Structure 1
Amino acid sequence: MRIIFHIDMNAFYANCEISQHPELKGKPIVISHNSKRSVVSTASYEAREFGVHSAMPLFMAKEKCPDLIVVEPHFNLYHELSQRFFEIVYKYSKKVEIASIDECYVDMSDYFTLTHAQPYAVAKEIQDNILSTLSLPCSIGISPNKFLSKMASDMKKPLGITIITQRNLKEVLWPIKVGDMYGIGKKTAPKLEEVGIKTIADIANYDNYQIIR
């Protein structure tokens, strides 16, 4: 059986800065140029509690969070830490698909065939390794395919590990809103909701021909 990990770094740019400046830990920060026309690149989880999110105009973020700390981006740092993150992952498997600077899919099937280890324990080991080595948190989703692993890694942040199997698929996945499903965009979600498709369960139980139309 295939075992795919999706490893997603949490608030990557923000946590890269925190790794270099521990005094920022626990504070509402955003990565952005500090000018009137700037937009937020990444927001820390503390800033997100105020409703601040990526792609938000900076002036609006400051209105939502008066104590917001604006940190200028350092892209060389992010690329360096990204490279070191992938180097850690490659120690566990050479079958790595890099999805972006801060996330990747890892085919761990051969690893578990050889070691007979438990997927959760290995995911925790990778997570702890990245955290202790780079001071960066990540979330990991585990399933038989990329789609489910991507969905799983989004379920618990930061520092979450979620496993989706045939046994718990309906329980874990089906209650999720259709707009939160990976691959469903902002324009598609309202169209689905109009015809009564509001959750992933509704998609699973709906007539395929009608969905395609």
Structure 2
Amino acid sequence: MGQVRPMKMDDALALLSWFFLGHSIFILVGTTTFVSVMIVVTNSFNIQDYFADYISELLTFWTGYNITFESASVPWRLGTIRLENVKIVCNEETWKTLQKKIAYRDGVEYNPGEVNTNFAYWDTTVESIDVTLSLWRWLDGRGVVKDAIIKGVRGVCDRTHITWDNWEPARRSPQFGDFELDSLVIEDALVTICNPRQRPITLAIFNAKLPTFRKQWLLYE
């Protein structure tokens, strides 16, 4: 302040502004580091279960899949956040439960009969998922995940209940929040795909490295 005097309101506001701006820039630029510090703190105070439940709820709302995981760790050598023993489920029950929560949050009436469940159901487990995060990307509408490494995938994709009525192929329109990963690595994946009136198909991926992975161009990439 340049002199010895009591702190004024302007001084307090300047200090709070500096504190808020500094932390905001840190979160935007170093999102992965910020979340890593949060994980270390929660593990130190033995509140990782509450943190895991909170992150699971966020991931469920962001993706539409019911995502739970056993633990989160920070492998500093890789500079990523690791989720271990991840369970990913999306079926009629989980989708209706999510739509009910969204309706309650938005203050609108929930009608189970109007919920569309004519899509593929997933029931998979993943040994580990390493991700790097970027809040800048999320604000830009490209999703919060920048890079991902997925290992040890096992599960089933159930499409036996899907029906088509006058279906015509159409290019998917991009939406705000669609993920756009700068890189995706998949190791040791084995998924069984069940289609209507066909025998199950097994999809195996031993090692895949994709330079980009975007929801808008999912099949192409």
| TM-score of the pair, normalised by structure 1 | 0.27
| TM-score of the pair, normalised by structure 2 | 0.26
Q: Which has the higher helix share?
A: 1
Determine which structure has greater relative contact order: mean sequence separation of CA pairs < 8 Å that are 6+ residues apart, divided by chain length.
1
Query: Which is greater in Rg?
Result: 2
Q: Which has the higher strand share?
A: 2
